[in-house]
């Protein structure tokens, strides 16, 4: 399910013109088969879903540890986030994206939506360690259908951010991403009948 960086960079996403100073950390295929216009449904799942993908035991434990460390070291204080320590990506948007749909904010994670188009949705978060972007695209699956594709882009905050990103990398790959992507797929499949009825 993990994809090469070129799976993101080769697509004509609008994010390329806005976030060129961010590093592409990861790109993943999502088990969310659908039709050409289903990105909005996937975004709705991210923003209004049950949060079940984050509730699996390992991600739940790792996120709990992360929030405790953040509280201990002050990584997540109000002055460390988007709009304070870092400027929102919305400040960079060209007029058409700024005036277009923004999308709802996710409820289960501390991200804020930046913009949404027919085939892209971007949300951002910031703290003392990193300014991060979640990019969800909607792409052809190679067999006549479409699916979601998730990219994580980051701008580490100095040495602290660089060390932090390196330290959490094994936990992301072993504990977070596999459970998260399985959970996204399960939640998508659970609403398949509703989508097919439309």
68-111: pLDDT as tens digits: 666 666 666 776 667 767 889 999 999 999 999 998 988 767 78
Q: Which residues fall within 8 angstroms of residue 66, CB to CB, at 6 or more apart?
A: 168
Rounded to whole angstroms, the Cα distance separating 159 from 165 reads 10
Rounded to whole angstroms, the Cα distance separating 177 from 109 reads 14
Query: Model's pTM, two decimal places?
Result: 0.87
Burial class (CB in 10 A: 0-12, 13-18, 19+), 26: middle
Q: pLDDT value at position 157?
A: 86
Is the dihedral angle over the CA atoms 87, 113, 26, 164 positive or is it negative? positive
Per-residue pLDDT reduced to its tens digit, 21-68: 999 999 999 999 999 999 999 999 888 865 555 555 666 666 666 666
Q: What are phi and psi of 151, to 5 degrees?
A: -125, 140
Q: How far apart are the first and last CA of the chain?
A: 28
pLDDT at 172 over 90: no
Beta-sheet strand order (sheet of 146-156):
23-29, 146-156, 130-140, 120-126, 112-116
Rounded to whole angstroms, the Cα distance separating 125 from 137 reads 18
The C-alpha angle 157, 29, 50, rounded to 5 degrees, equals: 80
Give the DSSP H/E element, type plus range, for residue 41: helix 39-48
Q: Which residues fall within 8 angstroms of residue 169, CB to CB, at 6 or more apart?
A: none
Rounded to whole angstroms, the Cα distance separating 122 from 90 reads 10
% pLDDT > 70, the chain? 79
Q: pLDDT value at position 163?
A: 86
Under 8 Å between Cβ of 178 and 152 = no
């Amino acid at each position: 399910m993990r994809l090469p960086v070129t799976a993101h960079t080769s697509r004509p996403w609008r994010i390329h013109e806005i976030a060129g100073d961010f590093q592409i950390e990861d790109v993943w295929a999502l088990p969310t088969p659908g039709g050409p216009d289903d990105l909005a449904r996937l975004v709705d799942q991210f923003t209004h879903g049950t949060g079940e993908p984050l509730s699996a035991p390992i991600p739940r434990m790792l996120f709990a540890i992360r929030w405790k460390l953040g509280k201990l070291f002050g990584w997540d204080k109000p002055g460390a986030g988007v709009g304070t320590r870092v400027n929102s990506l919305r400040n960079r948007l060209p007029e058409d994206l700024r005036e277009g749909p923004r999308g709802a904010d996710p409820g289960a994670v501390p991200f804020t939506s930046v913009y949404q188009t027919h085939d892209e949705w971007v949300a951002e978060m910031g703290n003392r360690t990193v300014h991060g972007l979640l990019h969800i695209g909607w792409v052809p699956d190679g067999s006549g259908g479409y699916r979601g594709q998730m990219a994580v882009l980051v701008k580490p905050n100095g040495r602290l951010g660089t060390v932090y990103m390196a330290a959490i990398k094994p936990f992301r790959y072993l504990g977070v991403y596999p459970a998260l992507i399985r959970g996204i797929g399960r939640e998508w499949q659970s609403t398949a009948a509703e989508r097919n009825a439309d």
